[in-house]
Amino acid sequence: MKYVTLNNGVQMPMLGLGTWDLRGEEGKQAIINALDVGYRLIDTAKMYGNEDIVGQAIVESGITRSEIFITTKLNSSCLGYSQAKKGIEQSLKELQTDYIDLLLIHEPYVKSLDMYKAMKEAYQQKKVRAIGISNFQGQHYDYFIQNCGMIPAVHQIESHVYHSQLKFKQRMEKDSVQMESWASFTEGRKDIFHEPLLMEIANKYHKSVAQIALAYLIQNGIVVIPKTIHKERMIENMDVFDIVLSQDDMYRIQTLDLGQSLFHWYD
């Protein structure tokens, strides 16, 4: 596993498990399987309604808590300072932990700055090791950065070969904000696994298309959290850190970029 050092010195794994639609016993077992094969970053959110199974899976895995990096996100149920404070305490309880490694605001809200005030307090109280944002674009990102009082450690946004957002990443780098990708495989919006160019490059490196898609993001310095319930896919997704794509192949993959969201999240 490779790690990236955030702007406050905290180390974050560059690859983790996304859990957005994991539910119930099957979902819990998928998280346990991921931890068993070596995942150490688990990404959840209040919006997903599964913080409880994430907490249960981590406890049942038997892995020391300090070895696992937990990310969760506050949503519209936490609008405002006091609501965010309550939301943080609820997340700690659901996750069965004394601290959250990374806490994000799930999307731009009218009261994002009030929510962030509660997050900064939780950070100072060591209930949270790092704080950040998700899905802030354009003027929302600019306004937040200018007024937040503490630069986010991480910004999680849609990023994949068809919409890598590398130009936006350059802006984040100037702000010392680490970029993290959601939808690394497009969540079915594009048939990425049969993309001819990626198939050609995968054959060249004796890897799968999924591995090449992840390696492209990681080589660009982007943290990835692909979601899967299949243990063999988890193992495959983990086996990407020996891939070094040539500059020519990186450029060729970049030609797939459509320059627009596949999800209309930001409309």
The pLDDT tens digits of the residues spanning 56-104 come to 999 999 999 999 999 999 999 999 999 999 999 999 999 999 999 999 9
Q: Does the global pTM surpass 0.85?
A: yes
The pLDDT tens digits of the residues spanning 42-56 come to 999 999 999 999 999
The pLDDT tens digits of the residues spanning 4-39 come to 999 999 999 999 999 999 999 999 999 999 999 999
Residue 266 clears pLDDT 80, i.e. is over it: no
Structure confidence at residue 248 (pLDDT): 98
Pull the structure tokens for residue 212.
């090449």
Residue 209 has phi, psi (to 5 degrees) of: -60, -40
Active site residue: 3, 39, 48, 216, which one? 48
Q: What is the DSSP letter of 104?
A: E
Domain boundaries, the chain: 11-254
The 3-state DSSP class for residue 90 equals helix
Contact 26, 50 (CB under 8 A): no
The pLDDT tens digits of the residues spanning 128-165 come to 999 999 999 999 999 999 999 999 999 999 999 999 99
The 3-state DSSP class for residue 182 equals strand
Percentage of the chain beyond pLDDT 70 is: 99
Q: Determine the CATH number of domain 11-254.
A: 3.20.20.100
For this structure, is 205 an active site residue? no
Structure confidence at residue 264 (pLDDT): 82
